[in-house]
Structure 1
């Protein structure tokens, strides 16, 4: 009996062995994955870059030229190679999170730096930490040079030029973005939605935006964005721990058959589970959002939202129990994603109270002492004034709409950072103009530092080279002619001509190129200096012999 128990106990334990690779072999496996990802992403760079078609389970494929979308969909079956993919993807995600554009450029630079770094390690014994320091030093010098080269964006024409580059030369769409920026100002909020027609359309709507998204992604179900039409709004500074605290609000929403958006100081974890389960079961559509800011600022901002949406701010749990229909705000639509909440077209707003509130804030702006206080008050003023634009992206098919939305999104991010930090010549020319800066750095006797600088210098040629190659011309000849020139002289890949790129409206946001360089150097230097690679041995899942289960397993690739 004891022996049988021992055997059955051992049989129920699953063991995993680690696969360990060292030195050049480990780096070679990582580089194989890096090359796959970089080759897939690089095809999208430039005005004549190619599209990438991505399979999606059970729905139509997706077509895109967006670098971050391509990078996030590359996954390799070999775990060791896939670790290279994951590391390089960090460079794209870091750039995308900071500036929302430049992911393809970051990928190309990171692959170039990593490849050169690994080549150096194969040739001789070097101090890898000093090599990494040399690469990072070179990237910092490039970022400083880009900052000095930057030109401010002062006109709508320059804004449209930035948008045109991100939109692959589409002048009409660039003018649409320029008109919206002219209407809203550079701090206006712009949303993207799918149109039900083949045409693009922009609408300016009244609404407010708060810098806080849904508490849990499960509120949005399959999508990354939750849209609530004809929505009720509960605003409170109380921490909501029990579902009983919000039962009156939930009951009102159920009776009126309208969704409910709750913005509160905090939520209990058990309550969130109940609300998510409620959503999944289709009872009352509800979403939980954390109140913006902290302390006194939180109270002021929540009061602003209450004024702007026609509701009342409930300050404690006792007021939740006595809630009435008049306490709830109302908006025609609420759009909630992971980072922001947009409240569109408020209903039943007391305009006199709102105008009094706006006047009070303007008086506070006149008395403000610090820049931080001034920025906060201006943000509150813009929220109460409530202008927001929605671009309805059209197309003849779902594939086209998806691809155009990606391009619109990149263009909007590029415009934002261009307005805040300026622009430099596009087409990879700005990076080429940074090469002399690296040559002028103070000489060093440490071989690894100098090699690191040279690695960065070689990588700076890659964006221009890739754009020319995607355009179907001789990339070496393009590089030679652009390097021979100076200033804004570069290659216009869309027209197939050389000239002053700034005059031609081919510019890149300075911050995008700086962020791409910084992210690429950091990730690539870690890749190049990796010595040991540890992965789990793959295990084949046991699939029951039931035919239906077999079919499902086959469908998901098991």
Structure 2
């Protein structure tokens, strides 16, 4: 479930239901004498056929209405959230960055600000400030941009000391931070609560240098480079850039509202556009276009409003889930939702099963049965008989199924009951993977829960 959430941002419940169904059915067959390795092979063949069929059924989306539909469903049918996510993605583009944060009022708002996102995360999990989300989040941070590796502490100490004395958080973006330097940063983060985070610079070679220049212009930093005659040990605090907010995750970094000069940013954008026009290499042009999108696209900031802190947390989680699911939908397309897409893949699995023998055939049949469970569970949660709903949907066309919200059968895509293909694909792939692993494992080691002793009874008193 966690892997599904990490990769697609949604589908945790479906992945859990599928994993439990595959494991239970598999275990029943293994207990009856079936070979677990052959069952695993059958499961893998069935999942491969299933995902190929899902991709064929998938419908690409691009228009705002469909994007809003996906977001609305992923946010538990909240149309306000669906609309605001569709608007955000329209403004920053499908490859743009959208962040979600807590607002200060009752309204949920959207702002598009200057900023950048790149696919590199923190160099140590100890830099995370939020253990629950595993993110390092700071406001009004200083940014050090260096084009070489930082390993010796003596070269790095002067600028680190100056940043620490300013009382502001420091984000370090360098080719790498390793050895003594990284260890010192981690120790000071843990013991002295130093507000610091180190990130490896994105890209390689000349491309890395170009991205660092973009980051320097965006944040108002001076790129510290010996080629420019600036050594790390002589760097001063006025060479550091600034951002209004930074969010660093395990595999990505987002900088919001850098302090760079707007005119300098526009000049850099114009330069990149000119390089795109002059480029003769498709690969170089593609990389330049990526740089342009990151620098010019900005960052969409959704500020979630609510009346209470509990409502705020719940709503923010829904916006986060909906945003990730919507990105997945734009990436790989959509399928009819509510578990119907799986039901329409059963004929393909039947055909595959007929060509298999022995325990491999059993493995394919396990998947065939397991993929009915999500729809069956949704129906039972809505007070319907699951097996009857499954049978009705099996006789319908590809985009058709059952709408649990309205208790209607029909075209689910037109009704707006849709799921991102990526989410559906990952739920079955990852559920089958973990269930197969458990079926072929001889023993599982678990931590024995500690027995908590009941508290001692209070001594009784006597009245005289």
Q: State TM-score, norm by structure 2.
A: 0.89
1:475-490 aligned at under 5 Å gives the runs 475-490=386-401
**SS of equivalent to 1:355:** helix
Structure 1 Cα separation of the partners of residues 24 and 206 of structure 2: 52
Shift, 1:539, TM fit: 9.5
Q: Which runs of no fewer than 5 residues in structure 2 stay unpaired?
A: 457-464
TM superposition outliers: structure 1 runs of 4+ over 6 Å = none
Structure 1 Cα separation of the partners of residues 366 and 21 of structure 2: 8
Q: Partner of 1:523 in structure 2?
A: 434
- Contact 1:169–1:494 under 8 Å retained in 2: no
**Quick one: structure 1 residues 180 and 540, their matched pair in 2 at CA, closer, same or farther if it must change by over 3 Å?**
closer
**Quick one: structure 1 residues 526 and 379, their matched pair in 2 at CA, closer, same or farther if it must change by over 3 Å?**
same
Which of 110, 118, 135 lines up with 1:202 in the alignment? 110
Structure 2 Cα separation of the partners of residues 537 and 172 of structure 1: 44
Q: Kindly tell me the number of residue pairs found equivalent between the two proteins.
A: 451
Shift, 1:308, TM fit: 1.6
Cα shift readout 1:516-553 (whole Å, capped 9, x = no counterpart): 111122221222233x2153785979x9xxx9xx9xxx
Q: Partner of 1:182 in structure 2?
A: 90
- Contact 1:114–1:524 under 8 Å retained in 2: yes
**SS of equivalent to 1:438:** helix
Shift, 1:409, TM fit: 1.5
1:486-525 aligned at under 5 Å gives the runs 486-525=397-436
- Contact 1:115–1:528 under 8 Å retained in 2: no
- Contact 2:163–2:237 under 8 Å retained in 1: no
Structure 2 Cα separation of the partners of residues 283 and 444 of structure 1: 62
Q: Partner of 1:127 in structure 2?
A: 35
**SS of equivalent to 1:502:** helix
Q: Partner of 2:459 in structure 1?
A: none
Cα shift readout 1:247-294 (whole Å, capped 9, x = no counterpart): 332343245433222111222333233223434455753222221122
Which of 39, 42, 50 lines up with 1:142 in the alignment? 50
Shift, 1:475, TM fit: 1.8
Cα shift readout 1:88-133 (whole Å, capped 9, x = no counterpart): xxxx23322322221221111111111111112222x333322211
**Quick one: structure 1 residues 452 and 274, their matched pair in 2 at CA, closer, same or farther if it must change by over 3 Å?**
same
**SS of equivalent to 2:415:** coil
The answer to which of 109-118 and 375-384 deviates more is 375-384
Shift, 1:371, TM fit: 5.5
1:390-409 aligned at under 5 Å gives the runs 390-409=301-320
Q: Which runs of no fewer than 5 residues in structure 1 stay unpaired?
A: 1-91, 551-558
Shift, 1:210, TM fit: 2.2
Which of 330, 336, 346 lines up with 2:242 in the alignment? 330
Q: Partner of 1:10 in structure 2?
A: none
- Contact 1:279–1:285 under 8 Å retained in 2: yes
The answer to which of 354-363 and 316-325 deviates more is 316-325
Structure 1 Cα separation of the partners of residues 95 and 418 of structure 2: 21
**Quick one: structure 1 residues 354 and 321, their matched pair in 2 at CA, closer, same or farther if it must change by over 3 Å?**
same
1:85-484 aligned at under 5 Å gives the runs 92-123=1-32, 125-223=33-131, 224-280=134-190, 285-316=195-226, 319-347=231-259, 349-368=260-279, 372-441=283-352, 443-444=354-355, 446-484=357-395
Structure 2 Cα separation of the partners of residues 436 and 416 of structure 1: 30
- Contact 1:253–1:284 under 8 Å retained in 2: no
Cα shift readout 1:394-442 (whole Å, capped 9, x = no counterpart): 3333332222222212211111111121111001111000001112237
- Contact 1:213–1:336 under 8 Å retained in 2: yes
The answer to which of 361-370 and 132-141 deviates more is 361-370
Structure 2 Cα separation of the partners of residues 524 and 156 of structure 1: 38
Structure 1 Cα separation of the partners of residues 421 and 62 of structure 2: 15
**Quick one: structure 1 residues 386 and 490, their matched pair in 2 at CA, closer, same or farther if it must change by over 3 Å?**
closer
Structure 1 Cα separation of the partners of residues 72 and 150 of structure 2: 47
Structure 1 Cα separation of the partners of residues 104 and 176 of structure 2: 38
Structure 2 Cα separation of the partners of residues 268 and 356 of structure 1: 34
**Quick one: structure 1 residues 254 and 106, their matched pair in 2 at CA, closer, same or farther if it must change by over 3 Å?**
closer
Structure 2 Cα separation of the partners of residues 205 and 351 of structure 1: 12
For the aligned residues, what is the CA RMSD? 2.7
Q: State TM-score, norm by structure 1.
A: 0.75
- Contact 1:253–1:259 under 8 Å retained in 2: yes
Structure 1 Cα separation of the partners of residues 318 and 282 of structure 2: 34
- Contact 1:163–1:174 under 8 Å retained in 2: yes
Shift, 1:474, TM fit: 2.2
- Contact 1:234–1:263 under 8 Å retained in 2: yes
